[in-house]
Structure 1
Amino acid sequence: MVGYTTDTIVGTYMAVLRVLQLQSPYGFSIKPLLDKFGFSPSFYTPGVNGSFDFHIAYPSLSFLSVLPFYVLGLHDVRDTIFIFFALSILLIFGLAPPRLKSVSVAPFGLFPFVIAGSWTDSVWAFFLVLTTLLWYRYPKASWASFGLAVAAKQIAIVVAPFLLIRLWHENPQTRMRSLGTNVGLMLAAFFLPNLPFIISTPASWWADVVAPFLPNTPAQVPGGIGLSSLLLDLGIALPSSFFLVLMLGASTALLYLYARRYRGLNSLVFAFPILVFFFYYRSFPNYMAFWLFPLVFELCRLGGPNLRIAFTMRLPSIAWHAPTGTFLRILRQRLTPTLMVVIALTMALVGVSGAYMSQASNPEATIQINGVMDPDSIGAATLINVTVTNLSSVPISPIFFVKYGPLPYFWASNSSVPLSSGSVSSYMIGAPDALSAVPRGDQFHILVGNKLTGQLLGESSSWKANIAAPSLENPGLKWWVLDTSVGSKVPFNWKLSLSNTDPVWSGITPLGVNGTSGVQMILNYSSPLVGLGNVALSQKVLLNATSVVIRFNQSLTTNIASNLIFAASVADGTHTLYYVFSDQTAHQTITSYPSNTTVIIPTERSQWNTIRLTPESIWNSQGWAIPQQATLTLFLESGLPGVYYVSIFSVVPA
């Protein structure tokens, strides 16, 4: 199983499977695949109204570009994404001048995010690199490539107005014909891969690809690394419409600046979208970072911007001829366009700001945090008590989001009853998984949305997650997260290790109806020639925290001679203390060596056993130095072929 960490890449995978079945992926939910891949709810895409988006949200080339590689055997979508990533890097590096070779590999810094972060943006970035590569020698092919970039992800369209301005300046003799021809090529390249899906499922295609970007669509939760996130960290929750108008204003200003100072800013065409998305209310890092691919290529080819030309305003000398109206002519020709743009932007921003200030002066709700809790000792706040006061004249239905990082996370509430006008109610909200839990010592805010209107009601003041540090984290094994290194869910703050096993058939699974009753270890061992098979869970703790009570049920018959054992160990890198749980002995025995000691503890097979371990006393009796940190490990090991199971209910401090 692979470890995907974005719903986008899972949606791409689902779409490939649907196309292979001759079905349109639009309209289908990706939720079953999210569950299959062990996705944490924190990775879902939430709306302000509490809903989640479980549909593929991008045009068809986002998955059609992956399809041929999947057919050829590359079933991990990240492999194909990496191919597009590598092709872009090689193109930029190969065509960069020798003196700029080192600069040309700057986009390679995105590699960890492309693979570990499961970002799929390398596809549309590759087509943008082709757009810049073909621009001067094959302009028509360049615009077709740009259309393919938009057909892979809609956000590429943001640079289109800037490219049209460049085309206008570079073709003074055939401006209108060039614009018409190249825009037509761009639209044809966009619709060509999308047309089969538009024809087969027009309503679903529109609902998934176009409708989410329309103004009347319920807003998603703001966040990212742009202005919206900075304001949220300051306790200022603005509506998405504010950022959309601000984004439009920034785009207008940049377009005007580029049109007036084309020669000085021509090499920065692909830098402008980065500035535009800074003002977007969902300014994700990948929305900004992947513009570096075409930007670096342009800088290597055209050189750096001439900021002196771009930002130097030449004021013409004005001869005093009162009757001729020279000053009025200069004002009209030189300053009127600038003044009109400034006035338009000012009126738009003042209008939106005025609406918000009016809303702020009459807030719809107040949010007060009363306390944080960590009842399961995972080292993070998983419960928060919060009070909401409805100051509006209509009922509200509060939806809660907790923000301590770039993105707010949805938290479930213990009540869904609407709050009537003027009422006050306290809520106990809980983290849906460990990733959304607030780390100990972190500052956080609570955002409250209205399920009835899909709008933000307000934001709380900052609060610090002051919780006690547990000696052993997640002792009940109730909280699980996706571990991308092994491609499966594991108990939070525990590390899963597999040796000489097939991860498809060996590993761990949660116990209980909701996966909150412990863990089951499964060891499917079939290759004695490659060494011992091993499944292990470990956590680094202080030595005195290794005194624990373990409750478990082992179905295997212990065979120490063949290394078929379920055991625990405490190690510091130099010394190791083993506890072997055996159903083949009636008395505890201790065998000591200079660097390790083995304790065999009698247990019963296929029964729940409760065993208390006191490693610190044995450690001291051996005369070993007290380590700053030790590793507590529970492991199932075998040298005999077979399938073996152990269920662990809890590992709690003694």
Structure 2
Amino acid sequence: MSAERSKSVIGSSIFQFLNDRSTLFIFYAAFFLLAAIVAWGFLGYTDLPAIVSIWILILLSAVYLIYAVALTKPIPLVEKLPFVSFALSLWLFILISKMFYPAAIHDEITIDSYAAYLFLHHIDPYVSANMINVFNFFHFPLYYATPLRAGGYVYYLIYPALSVYAFIPSVALGIPDYWIPLLFNVGTFLILVYYYRKRKFTATIPFIAVLVFVEAELVIGAVTGETDVIWVFFLALSYIFRKKPWMAGVFFGLSIAQKQIPVVIAPFLLYMIYIESGRDKRSFVTPVVAAATVFLALNAPFILMNPGAWFSSMLLSVGQPIIGVGFGFGILSFAGYAPVSSVIFSDLLVTSLAFLFVFYIRYYRSVKYAFFAFPIVIFLFNFRSLENYLIYWPLLTMLVLPDFIKDRESGDSENAKPETSKRRRPFLSGTSGLLKKTNFTVFIMLVIILAGGVSTGYVNHENSAYRSQLKINGITQFQDQIMVNSKITAMTVNLTYSPMDNSKSNIPVFFRIMPNGPLNSNINALLWSAKNPYVRQGNNSLTIYPDFYSDMLPANTSFILEAYYGNITAYYKAVSPVSPANPLQDPFLLYPTTDEKAPFPGWNLTKSGNDGNIVYSSSHLSLGLRDSNGTGQGWNSISISTPVNFTYLADNNYTLSYSASGTNGSYIGRTGTILRFSGILLTFNAGQEKFWYGYNASAINKKYSSFNRINASVVTSNTVLNFSTIREYLSTLGWGFSHAVLSYAVVSTTESGLNFSLSNISLSDNGKAIRPFQSEGGFVLQPYTANIYSSSPDLQAVQLVRPQEVVSW
């Protein structure tokens, strides 16, 4: 037996083993049993529908094992049960995903939903000014928005009409917006199942494993706000109905009416339709006309409302001035490795598309079904190469497998060489022949030389000039004045601005830090800015700060610092120093997060009982209890806490002060029973000893008291807490001061309707106030002031102040 035949026999045996009914159903049992156990570990005991789903998965797994080793003929009902298990697993995975991503982290779904809201209120969403309130309307975290190179964020709509229509049901019915892409996700999976059954294709274990992996990724994408699965759904239908060119065109028109990405697949799909139809010219024209008609019909209402706004929005999708992100070749440019303009990547994208199309025509018989893989190569050249540009193509490639295997088994590519009439010259009939007669390598070299020449000329003319205008000379100081452990929260940057003759004499400069480490779910890296971002010709010094809590720079980390405005950019490499531990983290509560369990950096939320609520924004905190337990036994409480170095604070005579207000202030009974409390709680020795610093607006004098060995208190209208004075008093009780924790707390045993609010928090060191955001000393920060870009050719930035973001639960 020859080596080739041996390999063929071995491969066939492996395929047969993996496709065997017993092996397949044992795999089903193991996989879905594991899925049930993992889901239980995440979801616990409180979600009854999820628990029931887990039970069903476990029981079905038992059925699969029995069926796998039962001496029986195939049972159609059991053969269909894995689809039920897959649906239940998908549902449980959605629930788990929402635990990790309670809100969208992609701005696209927020923009689309707001556009649908405006459309329902008869307002044109393609007019940029109408969209300016989008992030405030949905309380979308701005650190997930797309930054513009002239300051501010992308808030306008740049996608066609179906991106608006798709979310009308969500807005009108009040359902979560992520359910729209989730439904299309399920629909795409059902399309795959339908087509496989229609083509009598039997899935193997490796195939199922890949499908589950891809589906899991798509679910996470939908939950986090990616909407691309909508165009994937219609593109899949376009391929399935390619034998009916007009239907293929209708579905393709729907696909590009949601997003422009599928346009790159159009020449390949059209050529396949043309070849499979026997090189009939009508099969080429019909889908083009159908797609154009559907696209224009869907967009007609917006075109009629404001043609200029609609066309400008469509053009912005390829030319908007945004910062570079992603994992494509664009990293060479936006990370400062080479002086390459972003325009060259657009040129290379078009060049790669042309190259692959020529390649597809030339080797059609061999790569007929490979065209869904081509966009992965094409979009790698895009300046912003993001996950959603690439992740869906494997799923679409899986769609062609039944056709590919059928052609492979038949030993030929279907309709690759159709019969043609001698009386009529087929449309594009000479294309393939021309490519066969022409040296393919020479053709490609000419394309590359042409593309490279155009791009290089542009780079030499434009990019070097823009980069020479701005130079970072160095970082003169690193600081942690916001006081967050292991973080750098301020730095002073020295830079030189040398404007060209036609440039402005002063410009705002914005900053981005690319640290050596993980991106932590934010592909924008770390965005920093100054209170006054403007620089003038010559030497300038700016003290810059993180825009949001997630933008703080880890200490002892190497990084690339980018300074930019429009096309002007500069880079600098540095290493952040080690940051000492702080005695009290973010004492001013300046950087609110969107994490309920950690509302400020270094602070944790704790609830006991029911009905505790928290509302917070920068430098403001409100804690409340709507109800008590009504029994007088046990506590209802809500607090935020942070570990403190109490000894250091007392040794250095630190004072914490704040403005306070609230309803039903603190009241502690004569016997020491805490009936209600709102104020500061200090605990020591791992919570064994407690000092209650209660606030009550009607209290006149400050009087310390202890009602047992481990509890001491004071109720006062005074909102100044001196750590040295407190230590002097507590030392008389014989307390130790290790493992100290400071909490802002509201506690009740019998009463309801308690509320405690504080603001204007300050910290003093030996009588010297440490005030945040002083212009000298490095406390300048603008986490809630932004430049919102008004789209215009000269990149003018319009200064707008947005209201503080308020986060509440």
1:55 aligns with 2:156: yes
Shift of the alpha carbon at 1:272?
Answer: 1.7
- Relative distance call for 1:424 and 1:334 in structure 2 (3 A) is farther
User: What are the equivalent positions in structure 2 for 1:289-308 lying under 5 Å apart?
Assistant: 289-299=391-401, 302=404
Deviation per CA, 1:458-487: give whole Å up to 9, x if none: 33232222251433432221122333x68x
Who is 1:430 aligned against? Answer: 545
Residue 165 of structure 1: CA displacement?
Answer: 2.5
Q: Is the 8 A contact 1:127 1:148 kept in 2?
A: yes
Kindly name which structure, 1 or 2, has the bigger radius of gyration based on alpha carbons. Answer: 2
How far has the Cα of 1:233 moved from its partner? 3.4
Establish whether residue 8 from structure 1 lines up as the match of residue 114 from structure 2: no
Structure 2 CA distance for partners of 1:623 and 1:631, relative to 1, 3 Å: closer
Deviations 1:405-436 (A, max 9, x none): 5435654345565644xx33333333332333
For residues 334 and 507 of structure 1, the distance between their equivalents in structure 2, rounded to whole angstroms, comes to 74
- Paired with 1:464 and 1:305, the residues of 2 have a C-alpha distance of 58
- Which residue number in structure 1 is paired with residue 571 of structure 2? 460
Secondary structure, counterpart of 2:572 in structure 1 = coil
Shift of 1:218: 5.3
Is the contact between residue 609 and residue 629 of structure 2 (CA under 8 Å) also seen in structure 1? Answer: no
Q: Residue 107 of structure 1 aligns with which residue?
A: 214
Q: Which amino acid aligns with 2:213?
A: A
Whole-angstrom CA distance in 1 between matches of 2:363 and 2:109: 40
CA distance in 2, matches of 1:295, 1:162: 13
SS of residue matched to 2:716: coil
- 2:178 aligns to what SS in structure 1? helix
The alpha-carbon distance between structure 1 residues 247 and 527, as it changes in their structure 2 partners (threshold 3 A), is farther
Matched, 1:125 2:232: yes
Within a 5 Å distance, the mapping from 1:80-229 to structure 2 comes to 80-92=180-192, 97-99=202-204, 100-110=207-217, 113-114=220-221, 117-132=224-239, 134-136=240-242, 140-174=246-280, 176-208=281-313, 210-213=314-317, 217=319, 219-229=321-331
Give the match's secondary structure for 1:271. helix
Higher deviation after alignment, 644-653 or 276-285: 644-653
Residue type of the alignment partner of 1:141:
M
2:491 to 377, 383, 405: 383
Asked if 1:519 corresponds to 2:627, the answer is: no
The alpha carbon displacement at 1:178 in A equals 0.9
- TM-superposed deviation, 1:186: 1.5
- Separation (CA, whole Å) in 2 of partners of 1:621 and 1:246: 74
Contact 1:367 1:389 in 2 (8 A): no
Specify the alignment match of 2:91 in structure 1.
Answer: none
Pairing 1:350–2:350 present:
no
Q: Which residue of 1 aligns with 2:79?
A: none
Other-structure match for 1:64:
165
Partner of 2:529: 412
Q: Which residue identity does 1:180 align to in structure 2?
A: V
Distance 1:577 1:145, change over 3 A: farther
1:554–1:647 contact (8 Å) kept in structure 2: yes
Q: Do the aligned partners of residues 149 and 575 (structure 1) sit closer, same or farther apart at CA in structure 2, a change above 3 Å counting?
A: same
Write the distance in 1 (CA, Å) between the matches of 2:743 and 2:116.
Answer: 40
2:706 — aligned with what?
589
Structure 2 residue 352 is matched with structure 1 residue 250: yes
1:473 corresponds to which residue?
585
Aligned equivalents of 2:405, 2:559: Cα separation in 1: 44
Call closer, same or farther: CA 1:136–1:38 in 2, change over 3 Å.
closer
Alpha-carbon shift at residue 402 of structure 1 (Å): 0.9
- Shift of the 611–542 alpha-carbon distance from structure 1 to 2, 3 Å rule, reads closer
> How far off its partner does 1:10 sit?
2.1
- What is the aligned length? 598
Q: Report SS of the residue matched to 2:529.
A: strand
Structure 2 match to 1:317: none
Mapped partners of 2:164, 2:719: distance in 1? 49
Residue type of the alignment partner of 2:752: P
Match of 2:80 in 1: none
Q: Counterparts of 1:626-641 in structure 2 under 5 Å?
A: 633-639=743-749, 640-641=751-752
- 1-side partners of 2:645 and 2:234: how far apart? 52
Whether contact under 8 Å (1:365, 1:392) holds in the other structure is: no
Q: Secondary structure, in 3 states, of the residue corresponding to 1:47?
A: coil
Asked if structure 2 preserves the Cα contact closer than 8 Å seen for 1:29 and 1:54, the reply is no
Q: Bigger shift: 582-591 or 365-374?
A: 582-591
Letter in 1 for 2:548: D
Aligned AA for 2:312? A
State the partner residue of 1:319. none
**C-alpha separation in 2, matches of 1:159 and 1:44:** 28
**Equivalent of 1:264, from 355, 363, 366?**
366
> Do the aligned partners of 1:124 and 1:149 also contact (CA within 8 Å) in 2?
yes
Percent identity (aligned): 19
In the alignment, structure 2 segments of 5+ residues that lack a partner are 1-100, 197-201, 414-432, 766-809
The alpha carbon displacement at 1:631 in A equals 6.8
RMSD, aligned CA: 4.1
- Superposed displacement of residue 244, structure 1: 0.8
Cα deviation, residue 249, structure 1:
1.6
SS in structure 1 of the partner of residue 657 of structure 2: strand
Separation in 1, partners of 2:229, 2:492: 39
**Offset of residue 20 of structure 1:** 2.5
* Conservation of the 8 A alpha-carbon contact between 1:384 and 1:430: no
Residues 1:646 and 2:757 aligned together: yes
Q: Deviations over 1:101-149 (max 9, x none)?
A: 22212223325743563223232233233334x2356554343222212
Partner SS state of residue 593, structure 2: strand
TM-score by length of 1: 0.79
Deviation per residue, 1:174-230 (Å, 9 max, x gap)? 1x211111112222222232222222232222222x12045xx55222122211125
Structure 1 residue aligned with 2:340: 238
1:481 partner SS: coil
CA contact (8 A) 2:113 2:168 kept: no
Deviation at 1:7, TM superposition (A): 2.8
Cα deviation for residue 283 of structure 1 reads: 1.7
Any conservation in 1 of the 2:625–2:753 contact (CA below 8 Å)? Answer: yes
CA contact 2:623–2:639 (8 Å) conserved in 1 = no
CA distance in 1, matches of 2:132, 2:165: 21
Distance 1:36 1:545 in 2: 44
2:714 is matched by which residue type in structure 1? Answer: P
Q: Give the TM-score of the pair, scaled to structure 2.
A: 0.65
Change (3 A) 1:186 1:218: closer
Q: In 2 relative to 1, CA 360–191 (structure 1 residues): closer, same or farther, beyond 3 Å?
A: closer
- CA distance in 2 between counterparts of 1:184 and 1:382 reads 57
Change (3 A) 1:206 1:467: farther
